Amino acid sequence: MKSNFLKIFMLVALATFSSCGEKAKEANTTESKDAAVAKSDAIHYAVNTDESTIEWKGFKPTGSHNGIINLSVGKLSVNGGSVENGKFVIDMGTIEVHDIPAEEESNAKLTGHLKSEDFFHVDEHPNAIFEVTGMETTEGKSMLSGNLTLKKSTKNVSFPVAIDFNDNNLTLTSETFTIDRSNWNVKHKSKSFFDDLGDKFINDDIELKITLSASKI
């Protein structure tokens, strides 16, 4: 009886761990590509930065942290419901931590660390830039591709998005996806660069979810 109970317990625990361990799909990442060019009949939109955010989540063996980053400016050109061209600037100095209460000292400590040379070196690289290189439908999903420039490194990433139109406004929302920070030389406690970290590493994968609100120009 005890043996059967132990087997059942292990199966349940394994199933629970497997479901909780699922992570967002990694964005397809390649070398940079030529930026897309909008046709003359494209409709142009300006991003409403106050209503647009990038949610982030980072992981380590003992848990995770999450927060948001804001945009400083952005434009999209749309034709036939598809994004033809676009560019938006991510203000790395606005990075916030949301899983630790803002009044706690550890919140300011982590925020400062993320802005430091260990991670995004905001003093030297205040902005990240995403520039659209194309959009296509793959397996029933709209895949937005663009060059992401971070810390002077540029890679092309593709991820699923949905676009909703409402009069003169649009909302572009991505599925949650991951990028591998090592592709942009964010090295701190990365097993891609250091092989002596033991369990003191920080995962290379960073989860992102983009929400853009934009109005017709």
Domains in the chain: boundaries:
33-216
Contact 88, 47 (CB under 8 A): yes
pLDDT at 13: 39
The 3-state DSSP class for residue 112 equals helix
Q: How many residues does the chain have?
A: 217
pLDDT at 15: 38
Q: What is the pTM of this model?
A: 0.88
- Whether the predicted pLDDT of 142 surpasses 70: yes
* pLDDT tens readout for residues 187-197: 999 999 999 99
Of 34 and 17, the one with more pLDDT: 34
As a whole number of angstroms, the distance between CA 12 and CA 23 comes to 20
Fold assignment, 33-216: Lipocalin (2.40.128)
* pLDDT tens readout for residues 99-138: 999 999 999 999 999 999 999 999 999 999 999 999 999 9
